Structure 1
Amino acid sequence: MNTTGQEQEQKSLFKAKQLLSVLSAQSASTFANQVIALVVPWLVLTRTGSAASAGTIAFVMGIAALAGTLTGGLVTDRIGGRRVSALADGLSLITALMLAATLWLDSFSLWLVAATQVLGVFFDGPGNIAKSSMVPAAAEKEGIPITRAMGSSQTLQGVATFVGPITAGLLIATVGEANTLLVTTVLFLTSIVLVARLPKQVISHDRPMTPVQVYRDLRDAVRFLIKEPFLGRMQLVGPLMGAVIVPISALIFPAWFVFGQQDSRALGTFLGAGAVGGMVGGAIFAALAQKLPQRTWLIGATGLYGVALLGLFFLQPGSIPAIMVSFVAGTMMSVMFAVPFTAFYARTPQHLLGRVGSLGAANGALFGAVASLGFGHLINNVSAPQALLTSAMIMGGIAIALAALPFVRLLDRPTETAEPAAEEATELILAGDSR
């Protein structure tokens, strides 16, 4: 009986066309962004030899991500995730083509890389928020539990994250950076097509979009976070995770490999191993999320991720043990994302998802940007392994804090939530639904 129930639940997931379209669009966009995430630091590090320059680029991109996520949440709540996702992917496609064109013309310059990436990252934020905001509605419509939807999301994006860096490493080594960027345009186009298949959204608001209304919209989200007993306090801890997670893949790992005299294929394989771990972590969480307290999942994954980074400090980039540790780190990171995201979707009202999500992402982007600048100078003045050691110490401190802070226990008390503020009547109607 139990096996039959599991088979029926798994079968319903494969029949959930809307949810699969959203998750597939997320994966295609993630794939493209992972390719770009390897190309850009590789370009800067190999052509300038300066980790400080790479850190500066990461800092500027982080500030752009901050602005993009803030505006992305507002726009998503106003016009709907479907439109914002397609628009963001289209604009990201254009910026990828712009950078590829400059490389084809052999006119590399640091300011041009910064300009194209600022634009690209600015549009990525709204696109990611838009796709994420469509997950709970699609899961509910298809009758899929949110924990299963989130676990599946982590698994599918893990596939994209696995394929992305490996593909980028191989393509850079064989056809160059410019042609590698061309692949990302196809992926962004795929995401646009998948989202276009979703039902149209018609969203009506009592008040038009004005500067005053923008302030009120953000104020509603801030008030909700202040009252929400878990999500509000998590805004103090989550950004500290961003201070490690953002620069670790955008700067520290690439610098570790470049200055360790490793090629792009070795870096791609290393990052790909982490992505495989992410797939495994997502699958484990989807299947076993209810078997252990959510607090245990979060604290355990955070602590083990710090241990994995500490292990890398003692290893050589490109070595088999380093690849194995990367797999473990990826597994833990997947769970680290899945637990708070599940709480976010379960605790946040639908009409506030975009704004609340953008505030959290903006905090992480800000801390990640500042940390990237600092890590760039640390690598330039000391070494990449020292940056790994520093990251491990930060993650260990966060794990200890999560174990000690009382509010983390609310992860396993989902009924203790804030009363949603509803100053504005927002109505979301999926085209084709009867009222």
Structure 2
Amino acid sequence: MSTTTIEREAPARGSLRPMVALLTAFGISLVGTRLSMIAVPLFVLQTTGSPTRTGLVAMAEMLPYVLAQGLSGPVTDRVGPRRMSITSDVVSVAVVGLIPVLHQAGLLHFATLLALVAVAGAVRGPGDSAKYVLAPAVAKAAGQPNERVLGLEDGISRAASVIGPLLAAVLVTAVGAATAIALDAATFAIAAVVFLVALRPSEARPAKGTDGEPGPDAGDDESYLVRLRAGARFVWSDGLLRSIVAMVAVTNLLDAALSGVLIAVWAQHRGGGAGLMGAAAAALSTGAVIGAFTAAVIGHRMPRRVAFAVGFFVIGAPRFAVLGFDVPLVVVFVVLFVGGLGCGVINPILGAVEMERIPEHMRARVMSLMTSLAWSLIPFGGLVGGLLATRLGIGPALLVCGVVYFVATTLPALRPEWARMNRSAPVVAPVLEHVPNAVSPEMADHGVTFDAPAR
């Protein structure tokens, strides 16, 4: 931990309504997202029978999502995160809702589906970023610490990863994938209504500084491009952050290949369909929930570099191996659960590293850029998974992904800059001298994660 102690005034106790509103909308929206992560691939497989087309649909959604999320920060600052979130959700209702409507009318051609999911991704990215940006303002309005609101958001995200797949398995089996997508559209509407009714505009204004005064970067004298370049220079100048982004980008690509296509093809191959997909996703997510709460309790005692490497190992090669070798399903569920435990440890460690290395006034631009870069290969994951499954078959495709995952998570961890992960107060002066208005890393108070894309 840093040797510098920052004295903070306890937040004034306020109404919990704005915090409940944010967490409710966040949770409902995330359950819908997790539901669609299973319903959409199954819908495409059922209507086209093509793993490659399934991958193309996944890419068509995620590429605009990543680009819009990474570039929307200045716009959100101008119109406000509450308005951006509501606008994104309202537009998403119409776009996502058109998919089952056109399908029912017999007018949903494949090109139309690609266009709809692309627009859905483009409007969902800014909405997701806006919901995250709202957390500090809502915490202040509710008289709660930032860490409490952000911690609850992370816990809800993990829980949604359990509830969503199970709900998808029930709905797809009972009413079909198209109806499940319609229910996903309804979650956008509910989230927008919650914000309109329960979150006042005054409660959604972001705090401009730790004491309510404008921070060192709060003025309008710097253009959008100047701020974007400053964030990029910071990430590029920090060897550890640069290496982490590169590694996570590769693993996210493979995770997207699995979740977007390979797991659906594997479930069909094993004769389980949506039910097996939901059970597998729930086993992994349950482990991740437990792992995340465990890390929250004892994470500060863990050797970061070792815990990070072990966490990535157990969620990587073993997971692909048990799926690729057609082992008994009970073994699959056990390995996925253990992999989830390791997965739950990863994000708290990443958050701690970011807290120590990124100056507070640059955190939004640097973290949004890091997240965008880490997700930059996700749009191609479904396409890669579809091509591998088509060319190699599901077993070899899974094993190839497992080998690449192992190499990608092992080689970077051997690089010398990763030793800085265990330092509690890293020296960042060589980085900060290239960035205007930089401040000490001791001012950091929260971080972001490299989780699966969520609404």
Shift of the 173–414 alpha-carbon distance from structure 1 to 2, 3 Å rule, reads same
- Structure 2 counterpart of 1:353, from 357, 360, 363: 363
- Structure 2 counterpart of 1:252, from 249, 262, 267: 262
CA contact (8 A) 1:313 1:388 kept: yes
- Structure 1 counterpart of 2:396, from 386, 391, 394: 386
C-alpha distance in 1, partners of 2:296/2:424?
A: 18
- Return the letter of the residue paired with 2:326: L
C-alpha distance in 2, partners of 1:131/1:334?
A: 22
C-alpha distance in 1, partners of 2:366/2:388?
A: 33
Kindly report which structure 2 residues correspond to 1:172-183, keeping only aligned pairs within 5 A, or say none. 172-183=172-183
- Structure 1 counterpart of 2:416, from 406, 419, 424: 406
- Return the letter of the residue paired with 2:298: L
C-alpha distance in 2, partners of 1:288/1:33?
A: 30
C-alpha distance in 2, partners of 1:351/1:102?
A: 46
CA contact (8 A) 1:72 1:354 kept: no
Whether 1:315 aligns to 2:319 is: no
The match for 2:34 is 34
The match for 2:315 is 305
CA drift of 1:380 comes to: 0.5
Shift of the 282–265 alpha-carbon distance from structure 1 to 2, 3 Å rule, reads same
The match for 2:114 is 114
Structure 2: tracts of 5 or more residues without a match: 1-11, 209-213, 439-455
- Classify the secondary structure of the residue corresponding to 1:289: helix
CA contact (8 A) 2:260 2:381 kept: no
Shift of the 289–20 alpha-carbon distance from structure 1 to 2, 3 Å rule, reads farther
C-alpha distance in 2, partners of 1:178/1:371?
A: 23
- Classify the secondary structure of the residue corresponding to 2:115: helix
Shift of the 36–333 alpha-carbon distance from structure 1 to 2, 3 Å rule, reads same
Identity of aligned residues (%): 20
CA contact (8 A) 1:225 1:232 kept: yes
- Return the letter of the residue paired with 1:392: G
- Structure 2 counterpart of 1:200, from 185, 201, 204: 204
TM-score (norm 2): 0.79
**Which deviations, in whole Å up to 9, do the C-alpha atoms of 1:288-313 show, x marking residues without a partner?**
21120222221111011122322222
Farther off after superposition, 346-355 or 43-52: 346-355
Structure 1: tracts of 5 or more residues without a match: 1-11, 425-435
Shift of the 79–308 alpha-carbon distance from structure 1 to 2, 3 Å rule, reads same
CA contact (8 A) 1:274 1:327 kept: yes
- Return the letter of the residue paired with 1:415: A
The match for 2:171 is 171
Shift of the 396–185 alpha-carbon distance from structure 1 to 2, 3 Å rule, reads same
**Which deviations, in whole Å up to 9, do the C-alpha atoms of 1:180-233 show, x marking residues without a partner?**
123223322333345452613167964489xxx332231121122123453233
C-alpha distance in 1, partners of 2:388/2:301?
A: 41
CA drift of 1:356 comes to: 2.2
Whether 1:263 aligns to 2:273 is: yes
Shift of the 377–162 alpha-carbon distance from structure 1 to 2, 3 Å rule, reads same
- Return the letter of the residue paired with 1:374: V
- Classify the secondary structure of the residue corresponding to 2:301: coil
- C-alpha RMSD of the superposition: 3.2
C-alpha distance in 2, partners of 1:65/1:109?
A: 22
The match for 1:126 is 126
**Which deviations, in whole Å up to 9, do the C-alpha atoms of 1:10-48 show, x marking residues without a partner?**
xx99x9765555444332222111111111111111222
**Which deviations, in whole Å up to 9, do the C-alpha atoms of 1:58-100 show, x marking residues without a partner?**
2222321232122233333444433332222222222221112
- Return the letter of the residue paired with 2:400: T
- Classify the secondary structure of the residue corresponding to 1:366: coil
C-alpha distance in 2, partners of 1:194/1:208?
A: 35
C-alpha distance in 1, partners of 2:44/2:81?
A: 33
